[in-house]
Amino acid sequence: MIPWRGLVIMAVGAIVIAAATLVWFALDERSQLMFQHPYGTIRSGAKFGVAIGEQWVQADATLRRRFTTLNDLEWDTGPCVGDAPRGETLSFQPLLHGRANASYRDHSWQNGVITFCVQDGRVISITWDYVGPFYVDF
């Protein structure tokens, strides 16, 4: 039989771990998004430390510094959110002339995508979609 002191120590340890986990979730921007606003678009203001109107080069550096699990950058010339449908061309090189999308795949447990709509090298909108850890992406 486990003595009472051992049970108390285990219970306190479990409570401390649970509290630390809840605080971490509450402070993590992507966890907040996943539970409160899993998808959205902004065309003014700032999101993820990136301001609308900022040069893509600065925005890219800011996003990569902020979220180290971002990789798989993909460019396409398809429509931005709200644009009329049109053909698209995929590229893994920056498309800084005309209008293009720069999409970042977030491989954190929150499992999401952040997309900048870029017009002539400047971010004109930011879109995100965080589907959560149980979404299977083949």
Structural domain contains residue 18: no
Three-state SS annotation for 114-125:
EEEEEECCEEEE
Structure confidence at residue 19 (pLDDT): 81
47 confidence band (pLDDT: 50, 70, 90): very high
Structural domain contains residue 96: yes
Structure confidence at residue 86 (pLDDT): 63
Structural domain contains residue 33: no
State which residues form the domain around 111. Answer: 38-130
| Number of independent structural domains in the chain | 1
Residue 12 has pLDDT above 70, yes or no: yes
Contact 60, 49 (CB under 8 A): no
Q: Give the residue among 55, 98, 86, 91 at the shortest CA–CA distance from 76.
A: 91
Structure confidence at residue 133 (pLDDT): 72
Structural domain contains residue 116: yes
Select the more confidently predicted residue: 84 or 65: 65
Tokens standing for 1?
A: 């039989």
Structural domain contains residue 53: yes
| Mean pLDDT, the chain, whole residue set | 81
Structure confidence at residue 2 (pLDDT): 61
Distance CA 77, CA 47 (A): 22
Residue 54 has pLDDT above 90, yes or no: yes
Structure confidence at residue 21 (pLDDT): 73
Question: pTM for this structure?
Answer: 0.73
Amino acid at 120: D
Structural domain contains residue 11: no
> What average pLDDT does range 68-78 have in this prediction?
74
Structural domain contains residue 94: yes
Structure confidence at residue 71 (pLDDT): 67
The pLDDT tens digits for 79-133 are 776 676 666 677 777 778 888 888 888 877 778 888 999 999 999 999 998 887 7
Structural domain contains residue 120: yes
Residues β-bridged to residue 90: 76
